[in-house]
Amino acid sequence: MDYLPCEIVETSTTIDAAVIWLHGLGASGHDFVPIIPELQLPDDLGIRFVFPHAPSIPVTINGGMVMPAWYDILAMDMERKIDTEQILASASAVIDLVEREIAAGISSERIILAGFSQGGAVVYQAALSYDKPLAGLLALSTYFATHKTLAPAVANQNIPIQLFHGTMDPVVPEVMAQQALQALTALGHKPDYKTYPMQHEVCLQEIHDISAWLQQILRA
C-alpha cells in the first residue's frame, strides 16, 4: 500500500501509543516536529508522533496555485465551500496510517488524531467516521467542514475531543470553532473548548495544555 509520506518522532525506545498530527494549508509534516521537545513529555510515555505530508494540489482560493493541501478550498466564506471528495480521500489516507500503527502493535484505543487548520477538518472526518475506537481527537484552530455529511461511527461516539482556538484568528475565525462545538454537541459528543489571545498559530500556553491533555488521555 502507498502511504502518505511522513515525518516520525518517537519519544521513547518503547512505544505503546501514537499521535497522527496533520498540518495546515501550504505547510508540511515538518511544521509541528519542533513542538515535540516543548511538550516536555515524561520519559515513560512512549509515543510515536506521525506527521504526514499533504500532496501538492491546485488551491482555488489561492488563484489555483499548487501547494500542499489536504483538499481544495473553493470559497473563503463562513461555510468554507470545499472539495468534499478530496477531504474524504485525505481522511481515508489518514485511516490507512492508523491501520499501519495497529498493524505495528498499537491498539486503536492508544491512537490520537490531531490536526491544525485544514488538517483539523480532515481529522474530524477521519476520527468520527472510523469504525474502531480511538484514544482522542485534538482540533487546533480549525473547523468541522463535513458536519452536514458525516456518517458518524458508533465506535467513536464517546471519543475525548479537545478544541483549541485563537480569539483573534483572521484565517479561521473563532465563530467557526464555536460552530464545530455546536455540531459536535448535536452529535452527542462532549468536547472541551479553550481559547487563547492569539491569531492563526500555536502559543506556548497552548503547547503546555496539549501536553497535559495528551498525558491525561494516554494515562486514563
Per-residue pLDDT tens digits for 48-70: 999 999 999 999 989 999 999 99
Tell me the per-residue pLDDT of 6-35, one tens digit each, with 9 for 90 and over.
999 999 999 999 999 999 999 999 999 999
CA 24 centroid distance within chain: 9
**Cα gap 28→30, rounded to integer Å:** 5
Q: What is the pLDDT of residue 23?
A: 98
Kindly state the helix (H) or strand (E) to which residue 91 belongs, with its residue range. Answer: helix 84-103
CA atoms within 13 A on the CB side of 43: 0
**Mean pLDDT of the region 106-110:** 98
- Examine residue 124 and state whether it is found in any structural domain, yes or no: yes
CATH of the domain at 196: 3.40.50.1820
What is the phi-psi region of residue 170: left when phi exceeds 0, alpha when psi lies from -120 to 50, beta otherwise?
alpha
**Which of 28, 53, 200, 209 is the catalytic position?**
200
**Cα gap 181→81, rounded to integer Å:** 19
Tell me the per-residue pLDDT of 193-206, one tens digit each, with 9 for 90 and over.
999 999 999 999 99
- Mean pLDDT score of the chain: 96
pTM of the full structure: 0.97
Confidence of residue 79 (pLDDT cuts 50, 70, 90): low
- Examine residue 13 and state whether it is found in any structural domain, yes or no: yes
Q: Provide the H-helix boundaries in 104-129.
A: 118-129
CB 174 within 8 A of CB 195: yes
Q: What is the pLDDT of residue 60?
A: 93
- Examine residue 24 and state whether it is found in any structural domain, yes or no: yes
117 included as an active-site residue:
yes
How many domains would you assign to the chain?
1
Cell of 211: 501536553
**Cα gap 3→38, rounded to integer Å:** 28
Q: What is the pLDDT of residue 75?
A: 82
Cell of 37: 521537545
**Which of 165, 169, 189, 211 is the catalytic position?**
169
Q: What is the pLDDT of residue 102?
A: 98
- Examine residue 74 and state whether it is found in any structural domain, yes or no: yes
Q: What is the pLDDT of residue 81?
A: 84
> Quick count: other Cβ atoms within 10 Å of Cβ 12?
15
- Examine residue 107 and state whether it is found in any structural domain, yes or no: yes
Residue range(s) defining the domain that contains residue 155: 6-218
| Lowest-confidence pick of 39-48, 79-88, 111-120, 175-184 | 79-88
- Examine residue 142 and state whether it is found in any structural domain, yes or no: yes
For residues 87 and 43, the model is more confident at 87
- Examine residue 192 and state whether it is found in any structural domain, yes or no: yes
53-56 long-range Cβ contacts below 8 angstroms, 24+ apart? 53/4, 53/5, 53/6, 53/7, 53/23, 53/28, 53/29, 54/4, 54/22, 54/23, 54/27, 54/28, 54/90, 54/118, 54/119, 55/4
**Which of 117, 129, 141, 211 is the catalytic position?**
117
Kindly state the helix (H) or strand (E) to which residue 46 belongs, with its residue range. Answer: none
Q: What is the pLDDT of residue 76?
A: 73
- Examine residue 1 and state whether it is found in any structural domain, yes or no: no
